[in-house]
């Protein structure tokens, strides 16, 4: 009973402080954290590797499309023999993709591991259920690393607090009922 009242009081205070728009942003951010936890469990590549490979692949595709267009319109842009230009054109997208891959890998601020990405997202998030967030911190400190299951458990608790606030806001008595006509 006491915890229900505390949750109600906390929700009432948050309802006054936080608008529906911010609650929607919080839900979106929680979904982002949850998606990152899923990738942590399923992906063999880290976030930086995925970004690097994606950018390299896009570079290769764009250059291949440009070369295709040039060949379609017979644009003679070099005064080199035909066979030499074809060889250069075949290698250009691959070389450019390798260069982009290396550049993005070295210059990206994206973390190399999913655990670091989750840690970054959790650090930037301002929790509504501070007790649950502290328990997550305590579990992480005890185990020595961030466990995906603990993060999922925290997400469920945080989401339930947000849903409680949203339900209370939606169930308020409309003001027009007090108007005397």
Sign of CA dihedral 15, 20, 25, 31: positive
pLDDT of residue 82: 58
Which residues neighbour 138 within 8 Å (Cβ) at sequence distance 6 or greater? none
Query: Is 126:77 a contact under the CB 8 Å cutoff?
Result: no
Q: Determine which of 29-38, 71-80, 164-173 has the lowest per-residue pLDDT on average.
A: 71-80
Q: Determine which of 38-52, 66-80, 151-165 has the lowest per-residue pLDDT on average.
A: 66-80
For the chain, what are the domain ranges? Answer: 1-44+113-166, 47-111
* Chain segment 88-125, per-residue pLDDT in tens: 777 889 999 999 999 999 999 999 999 999 999 999 99
Q: Report the mean per-residue pLDDT for the chain.
A: 82
Confidence of residue 178 (pLDDT cuts 50, 70, 90): confident
């Amino acid at each position: 009973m006491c915890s229900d009242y505390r949750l109600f009081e906390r929700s009432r205070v948050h309802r006054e402080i936080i608008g529906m728009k911010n609650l929607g942003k919080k839900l979106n951010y929680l979904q982002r954290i949850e998606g990152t936890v899923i990738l942590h469990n399923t992906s063999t590549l880290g976030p930086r590797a995925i970004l690097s490979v994606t950018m390299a692949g896009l570079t290769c595709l764009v250059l291949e499309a440009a070369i295709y267009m040039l060949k379609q319109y017979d644009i003679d842009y070099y005064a080199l023999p035909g066979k030499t230009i074809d060889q250069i054109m075949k290698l250009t997208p691959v070389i450019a993709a390798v260069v982009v891959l290396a550049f993005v890998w070295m210059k990206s601020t994206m973390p190399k591991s999913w655990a670091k990405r989750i840690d970054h997202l959790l650090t930037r998030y301002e929790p509504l259920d501070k007790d649950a967030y502290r328990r997550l911190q305590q579990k992480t400190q005890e185990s020595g690393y961030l466990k995906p299951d603990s993060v999922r458990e925290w997400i469920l608790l945080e989401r339930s607090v947000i849903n409680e606030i949203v339900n209370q806001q939606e169930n308020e008595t409309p003001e027009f009922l007090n108007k005397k006509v």
